[in-house]
Structure 1
Amino acid sequence: MRILNTIESALSGFLFLLGIVISLYSVFMRYVLGASQSWATEVYTMLLVWAIFIGFSTALKEDKHIAIEFLYDKSGPTMKKVSQVIVFIIGIGFSLFIIWTGFNMVLTAYSQQIKTIDLGFPIWINYLIMPIAGILLFIRFCEKAYKYFVKHEEVTHGGDVEWKQ
């Protein structure tokens, strides 16, 4: 999991920074030099989308997703366990849905040979982020469920994990 953590963080950060650099280049070229770079919009949009979708998994790993902590904190131990099971089921189901839908999008775009307007880049490569993000989310939800049920860790919000005795 450490290798996955490193790859996720590095790739997401790199894609985000590269997208920002290309965006700034495009703005400079358009407004300072008066030479519009239409290809840049396609590239930085794709890079930022990829960075964000990979970042979903990182956010889940670090408990940075939105949570209704008020209700969770006011609940008793049984309700907390029930809510965790519901979260795991919905999360794993959502991940599988994203994987399935993403693969269908990739296969459809590939079979139809759809390309981007400015660069003529195969759009199925852009769509690959959907199943990849779904797989990463699936791994993270399974990891959290494993820690909760097998290792008996208390899954808390805000990134802190306390061990149950």
Structure 2
Amino acid sequence: MMNQLSKVTHVAADLLLKAAAAGLAIMTVIVGWQVFGRYVLNSSPSWSEQASLTLMIWYVSFAAAAGVREGFHIRIVAVENAVQAGIRKMMRVAADLVVAACGVAMLIWGGELVARTWSHVIPSLGLPRGLAYLGLPISGALIFLFSVERVLEELKGVDLKDEEDPRWS
């Protein structure tokens, strides 16, 4: 069961990172077009700023969720490394439970933000404002799932590697 969950969440985290990378690339093109329009054409597109901000909310949220699954968030482990293995394990479990609680908070309050702003329209895009924030509850749910997976693996005794993906080195 855990192996199947791990395979699914690993694929999900890879997809999240690819979506985040695509969002960053698209946002870069949009901002580049905005700068070109402003300084070369003397006419900046009205939609570019809101589109890039919306993309940024989505790709940052997705990358944050993937970071929880892959363990590449920054953390200070000096105290963790100075204690016995049993205490270290409980510290990691406690840290992952705090992250899971943050994911639940993002899911609940991000969902409320989406619901409250869905009827508002982003004028320059013609899209519901809630769509811009929809990445928050989605990534909150994924952060919760990935954190629970890490807790279960830690309790099972799986050696979790909290380091950068070797593909990036």
Which residue, out of 126, 149, 160, partners 2:155? 149
SS of the equivalent of 1:38 reads coil
Give the fraction of aligned pairs with identical amino acids, expressed as a percent.
21
Which residue, out of 107, 120, 125, partners 2:131? 125
Q: Name 1:5's counterpart in structure 2.
A: 13
Q: Quick one: distance in 2 between partners of 1:62 and 1:3? A: 11
Tell me the matched-pair count: 157
The one-letter code of the counterpart of 2:23 is: L
SS of the equivalent of 2:127 reads coil
Tell me, which stretches of 5 or more residues in structure 1 are unaligned? 161-165
TM-score, normalised via structure 2 length = 0.85
Q: Quick one: distance in 2 between partners of 1:6 and 1:71? A: 31
Residue-by-residue CA offset, 1:106-143 (whole Å, 9 max, x unaligned): 11112xx1111322321011111110110111121022
Instruction: Check the 8 A contact 1:63/1:157 in 2, yes or no.
Output: yes
Tell me, which stretches of 5 or more residues in structure 2 are unaligned? 1-7
Q: Which moved more, 1:98-107 or 1:4-13?
A: 4-13
Q: Quick one: distance in 2 between partners of 1:115 and 1:66? A: 36
Residue-by-residue CA offset, 1:53-80 (whole Å, 9 max, x unaligned): 1000122222221211111111211220
Which residue, out of 18, 23, 35, partners 1:27? 35
TM-score, normalised via structure 1 length = 0.87
Q: Quick one: distance in 2 between partners of 1:6 and 1:77? A: 30
SS of the equivalent of 2:55 reads helix
| Deviation for aligned residue 1:156 | 4.8
| Residue 70 in structure 1 maps to residue 78 in structure 2 | yes
| Deviation for aligned residue 1:6 | 3.3
Which residue, out of 76, 82, 88, partners 2:90? 82
Runs (4+) off by over 6 Å? none
Q: Name 2:122's counterpart in structure 1.
A: 116
SS of the equivalent of 1:119 reads coil
| Deviation for aligned residue 1:159 | 5.1
Q: Name 2:146's counterpart in structure 1.
A: 140
| Deviation for aligned residue 1:87 | 0.8
Superposed CA RMSD:
1.7
